[in-house]
Structures are given as C-alpha cells and as structure tokens.
Amino acid sequence: MTQYDPETLAFYAREASDYAASSAGGIGRHLDGFLERLPPGALILELGCGSGRDAAHMEALGFMIEPTDGVPEMAAQAAVRLGRAVAVMRFDQLDAQDRYDGVVAAYSLLHVPRAGLVDVLARIWRALKPGGLHVATFKTAGGEGRDRLGRYYNYPSEAELRGFYDQAGKWSAAEVESGEGRGYEGGVSRFVMITLRKAG
C-alpha cells in the first residue's frame, strides 16, 4: 500500500517497549501552543500516539482524546500508560467526517510514503470540523529515504509540505516552524512543524 511502509510498522512492533521507555518524560514541543488555540474540553484525535505520553498530558488538561496508533504493540504500550484501551488504526483507515476539533500527529505522518501522503492528509481534513485545527511534525532532509534503523521518512521541504496540504483540502491558515531536535536513533535532525486550520 502507498499509504504506509510495512518495514517501518515492523520496526515499531519490535521496538515498542524500548521506544515507549525512551519517551517517558516531557511532552511534544508542538503541544502547548496548539492546545491554547482549542476550546476547553475539545475533542482531539491523536494519530501515532506512541507511548501515550502526549495523550496523557492532553487528558490531564481536560481535553477529550482519542489516541490511535497503527501498530498494535505501540497501542498496547499507550494503553498501559493511559489505563484504557487505545484504538489500533493506520492513517489510511481514518474515515471520520467533521468530527474533531483538533488532530495531532507528532512525528508520525513523516513515515507516510510520499505517493500516499495527500490521501492521508485529505482524510485528516475531512475528519476535522470546519474551523478545526491540525498540527504535525515532519523531519526534512532533502528527499525521501530511510534512517540507519531502516525506518522510511518522506523528508519534505517546507514548500513541498505546503503543497501536499494544499492538494488535500482547503485551509484558512497555515503556519510553519522549523528547528533541530534529537530522535530515537540519536543525532540531530531538522524538523518542520506545520499548524493548519480547516476552512469553514
């Protein structure tokens, strides 16, 4: 399938417990500024929730969270942290319409093969209520490829990322922030964080 990479899913299935342990503290850098824009008690879909760290933070602030992960083993790790079931859902299985106030995808959509990325982004657009917010963080490295652990990355430039989202739906606003951070494999990598509001 063009919407996901089997090797990357297999990596997270093998590494689920170690990966969850590596992200035990703190929250995603994208979260607080994004959450400040949402109404109290907003319904948020999290795609690729990983260890459940960010979901737990959002729940503690009073938001209603639907955490999901495409890897059963990762969803199980998040379920332990959250004390409740976590849905197993790949991005290409999202079929909600006008349901969510917000959709969060922290370092998860970056694994979607470029050929399937617009379809996945269109699913996110449809899932948001009119005026709903979406935030996602990607790595950028000048062209799609794999890291030393074998994980696939789409590595879009800022211009390419804006283009993918423009094809996926109509947005009333899009803001981009870039910087550097450390990932699971170690070393420093460039990231691009994009925040968008669904027109309507």
CATH number, residue 124: 3.40.50.150
At residue 141, the pLDDT reads 79
For 45-80, b/e burial (b = at least 16 CB within 10 A) is bbbbbbbbbbbbbbbeeebebbbbbbbebbbbbbbe
**Residue 123 pLDDT greater than 60, yes or no:** yes
CA distance 187 to 108: 18
At residue 60, the pLDDT reads 95
At residue 23, the pLDDT reads 64
Candidates 76, 4, 22, 62; CA nearest to 185 is 22
Instruction: Give me the helix-helix angle, 72-82 and 6-22, nearest 10°.
Output: 30
Residue 188 lies in a domain: no
Residue 12 lies in a domain: yes
What does the pLDDT look like over 39-82, one tens digit per residue? 999 999 999 999 999 999 999 999 999 999 999 999 999 999 99
pTM above 0.85, yes or no: yes
Residue 198 lies in a domain: no
At residue 102, the pLDDT reads 98
Domain boundaries, position 60: 6-22+31-170
Residue 69 lies in a domain: yes
Please tell me the total count of domains within the chain: 1
Secondary structure class of 118 (helix, strand, coil)? helix
